[in-house]
Amino acid sequence: MNTECQEITRDMTIQDMFAKFAPKAQKLSQELSRAGLNCVGCSASTWETLESGMLRHGYGEEAIIALLQRLNEIAKKPALTAQSGITLTERAAEQFKHVSKLEGKEGWALRFDEEPAGCSGFEYVLGFSEKATEADAVYTSQGVEIHVPKIALCRLEGCEINYVDGLHGGFEIDNPNVRSSCGCGDSHGYN
């Protein structure tokens, strides 16, 4: 579906937003959770409009406008393609290198995988990898080697890994292959 001319509005239901911007559903749900709308988790209140959800949670006009702006920035960002490899943003690479040093694993690779979990099917797993195996695909991004099980490439190819500071911060994955997501952003599915 072409979403370039569409915009997320205050009277759009959360369910409609996820349907119209399906490739961005995971990032949109993460942003809703960061805004304090955890009720979108597990499709609990996806029938609500963004405005009614914000108002019910005690947020005012300024917060609604700010959330809409952030959601539309996500929605308008060009989608990654599944042929893009696996990439890290500069911030994610810096954070991985920092944590590697703290853990005494400088020079190790990032292990990127997923496992069955949550209400939508899968959750991402990030860890350290001392050496790639024959079963791994190997990528390099921002000076960090990334090991990914070849069997998972059909789901993980094209992912961008970012790092965000803050209360709900941490590593975030932008996956162009995801077609559904738990509202809390913890799990995702491929339909």
Which residues make beta-bridge pairs with 164? Answer: 170
Measured distance CA(186)–CA(182) in Å, rounded: 6
Q: What is the pLDDT of residues 85-125, one digit of tens each?
A: 899 999 999 999 999 999 999 999 999 999 887 666 788 89
State the pLDDT confidence band at 127, using cuts at 50, 70 and 90.
very high
pLDDT digits over 24-81, tens only? 777 787 788 778 776 555 445 667 788 888 888 888 999 999 999 999 988 887 665 5
pLDDT at 22: 73
Q: What is the mean pLDDT of residues 157-179?
A: 85
Average pLDDT in the 130-147 region?
96
Average pLDDT (143-167) is 91
pLDDT of residue 42: 47
All domains of the chain in start order, with CATH: 1-79+176-191 (no CATH), 87-175 (2.60.300.12)
Residue 35 φ then ψ, to 5°: -80, -5
CB 167 within 8 A of CB 14: no
pLDDT interval class at 1 (50, 70, 90): very low
CA distance 15 to 20: 9
pLDDT band at 178 (very low <50, low <70, confident <90, very high): confident
Question: 138 or 122: which carries more pLDDT confidence?
Answer: 138
Give the pLDDT of residue 179.
66
Name which of 4-8, 95-99, 135-139 the model is least confident about. Answer: 4-8
Q: What is the pLDDT of residue 2?
A: 44
Which residues, in sequence order, are CB contacts of 35 under 8 Å at separation 6+?
Answer: 54, 59, 63, 67, 70
pTM of the entire structure? 0.62
> Within 10 A of 41 (CB to CB), how many other CB atoms are there?
20
Q: Burial, 126: exposed, middle or buried (Cβ in 10 Å; 0-12, 13-18, 19+)?
A: middle
Band of pLDDT at residue 180, cut at 50, 70 and 90: low
